[in-house]
A and B are shown apart, each in its own frame.
Chain A
């Protein structure tokens, strides 16, 4: 990948993560989400954006979406291309589900961990439940907000 494009993508990944951090913590009832899905263990997920070599660690804990640094052993690992991370939330909830399932079937995203397949299924259910609360964002909006 061209160095300038790589730098821009890495920069955008950071801005998008910051956007998600602000949006999830201000607009979503994460406490209710945690209760609904019994996601109360504070389990840590590492998202590896494989094409730009960026890793993001996050978790839901005490009703907050947290971004973490210096995590040695995440509970789950997701391997995904950055374009999916960038574009996923431009879509309606059913299109998000379809894209994630399709990319998983075709090996473009992968999930690893003790309960990764069960967690992926729960994530899909959560997207269904959150259908009206999910951000439908354009990349320009993320850049402007950052």
Chain B
């Protein structure tokens, strides 16, 4: 049975997709993986991977067929609203009932084949998409992605996970400090690392939750397609150890 992992935060724009895509790609080198974008309103996974075109349908089984994204010789399965719509830039204001229907079929009526990992990229917030996933895959675990000094948002996410008995694998602190040309960006005046949002604020506040590390503000991440978290930050290595 596949391990299911969601990248979660009660706040949007913290880097869930960055972490989710990088984790899925790292796992897909040696495992059978599906990357499932449940961010219905802002479906970015297809675009980040450069996937275009249409979801096909298995006529016999009446199931949707995800797109393949090749990682070496392995085909990672990718499903996203943008692929269902064939366009990534269209607005969506869908009622919760239809979101649940879409998510139910993304999870239960899509032909992923035999998998070892399902990685879910979640929208900001912990309402209908989270609830649907927690309903259909109750043993799904979570990686919380946050920014420095966002303890209220982390507290909310932890609270929701605890209530629904979702195991928290660990926390990633994104946009934590800064990095350029292979080294921290240092302030000329105080000789400290430039950290507009702060840095390393998570570990001391959540000593009981594993800390996967921090990802500094870093241009190099977006110099590749798809965006890649540099290995030197150690974040992916820590996550991979925890999930495998």
Which A residues are within 8 Å of any B CB, using their own CB?
Answer: 37-38, 101, 104-107, 110-112, 114-119, 121-122, 125
Contact = CB atoms under 8 A, between A and B. Distances in A.
15 contacts: A104-B94, A105-B92, A107-B93, A107-B94, A110-B98, A111-B98, A112-B97, A114-B62, A114-B109, A115-B62, A117-B102, A117-B105, A118-B57, A118-B64, A118-B105
Given A37-B59, A38-B60, A110-B98, A117 B109 contact: yes
B74 to A, nearest CB: 25
A104 B64 CA distance: 18
A121 B84 contact: yes
A115 B111 CA distance: 12
B2 interface: no
Contacts, number: 56
Instruction: Give the interface residue-count category, chain B.
Output: 20 to 34
Q: Name the residue among B64, B92, B97, B98 with the largest chain A CB count within 10 angstroms.
A: B98
Given A38-B60, A105-B91, A117-B84, 18 more contacts: A104-B98, A106-B92, A110-B98, A110-B101, A111-B98, A111-B101, A112-B97, A112-B101, A114-B62, A114-B109, A115-B62, A115-B63, A116-B101, A117-B64, A118-B62, A118-B64, A118-B105, A125-B57
Contact of A110 (B84, B91, B95, B109): B95
A104 B91 CA distance: 11
- What 7 pairs between A and B have smallest CB-CB spacing? A115-B62, A38-B59, A117-B105, A110-B98, A107-B95, A107-B94, A105-B92
B31 to A, nearest CB: 27
Contacts of B105: 115-118
B93 A121 contact: no
A117 B97 CA distance: 13
A101 B57 contact: no
